[in-house]
Structure 1
């Protein structure tokens, strides 16, 4: 069991999506270099001043690569510290060599488990412990202080591992939400294809029956088959490339749509007044878009009921345009941020993206919370996103 855990840790890949350098990195560099200059200028007890300054500058620069090369930065930092400790054993200076700004090495210790692979973490911890062992061997510090120093040194690594675990767990939860939303879309796609194919089969059978007696009626039946086939292909092209092959045994029921919004917003338990506005052409929407509009309104109104502070009304506006459908849901509660988006909104964003649309959520312009979505109608733009121009 332990051997399997070690093997799993050793093969763990690096944390994905490590950010590039941001302003905080340059602020850390500037602050550390400023600390080096101040200590070198103002402190009178600095031993081997040029060496201490060089080490301080070296340690200040290394964090710039802590996310992309965590093991290399740990090795370079603690390798320099070990060399300095060995040199102090030979030369025996009266005081320890180094500056307080060298504490920046704790940032590297944090970055190792946060961004490194399993192999880098194991090797990096070995390097850190080697540096600590050399420090213990060369100093006459009491055992209690040595233990406290080790805990202090490794605490950033524990924090980094905890942050990574939390981020990984959230990403897995989001992926489960995306997968669930894709399964829902797959069931809706099944309904759409089954409906159109059934109509195609009926029209083809009718055309075959009348082909001999009424060729014109047979041609009309074939035109109907062609139209149904085009609609089916449109729905499939919008989603099938990104859907998983799952949900085969799920319950297949007709998906709710725009026509069901009034019934939804009149349902028992709706504690706020809901103002529903339906404008434009909302007839004949592709089933996937129709169901997406319903789901967006349902989730957004539910969130308003649960989280809106001092709200009295929820405004829902659905507008059908020639190329897209716009959905806006906002409440009149206190204008305050609600922190990180919930999993429901993550699922809605996934659904909108699969349909070639966009969804955004955040504080309203004046009050409350607002959710906005744009969904392409499909056939009006031949699958091209109305804003980006991409398929």
Structure 2
């Protein structure tokens, strides 16, 4: 049984008790109700209350008809208690238009009752009638408006929470797409670029054997990193770091094959795995760029640490060409440095292109 049905049953019980106690009407000395009239008005009010949840407008109209019929023999107190409940339901369950109608009717009925009380019995009767109107009509209306406001606030909060969850989900998906883009770029682009450059060099080389071997090494390295990336994506978490400092060997061999001698000072021994991965990705991108944009120029990689900071510098000859604005390499290097709380700068210095990064351990 719903709360509305319980209220209807309660009103019926109260009406029967008032009937038994001789307090069925407001003015006990003017009780024109026959017994079947009282039973009829109680039964009708009970049915209207039960239907108010489903059809509040119809229930309000039916209750108005009962009030008009009750005006001659009553007014009966149980009926007006039922009116109070139906008006509350009309405010809570009805449309905005019905809600406005209920408010207007409640105010008019309260004021009219107070004026009629003054005319019939003086100021005291007017005040008492007005207070009865406030208790039976305006109070349930006010309570109903409070319930509506609370419900709307809860709906707005729920909608805001849903919108925020959708925005967070969209942001998470966008971040994941960008992360996958960086991983694919750093995993494949460097090796594929080296393979393309080496293929051209092998075509013109007198002894293509070493160049072909470097092509094979970059192909296998790209395949290994792709498999490692697929395994990482298939795992439950993303804490597994697959790239190691030794992953640079094919890129170093590719640079050497096109005449870009690579010298490396320092290593990642003792570094956390995540930091090692970031350093390796930055150096790998720098080597791929040097091989692609400045083949034949030496490349120097310097890795050192002071206290809690790792210093990374990659230098190669600069041909004077401006860096591409459509590629993702430089942006990816900066993002990787920032991912561990560091920063990176890449720009020409004299006749060299220099990549500097400072990364916290």
TM-score bracket, normalised by the shorter chain, equals 0.3 to 0.5
In the superposition, the TM-score normalised over structure 2's length comes to 0.46
Q: Normalized per residue, which structure has more helix?
A: 2
Larger C-alpha radius of gyration, 1 or 2?
2
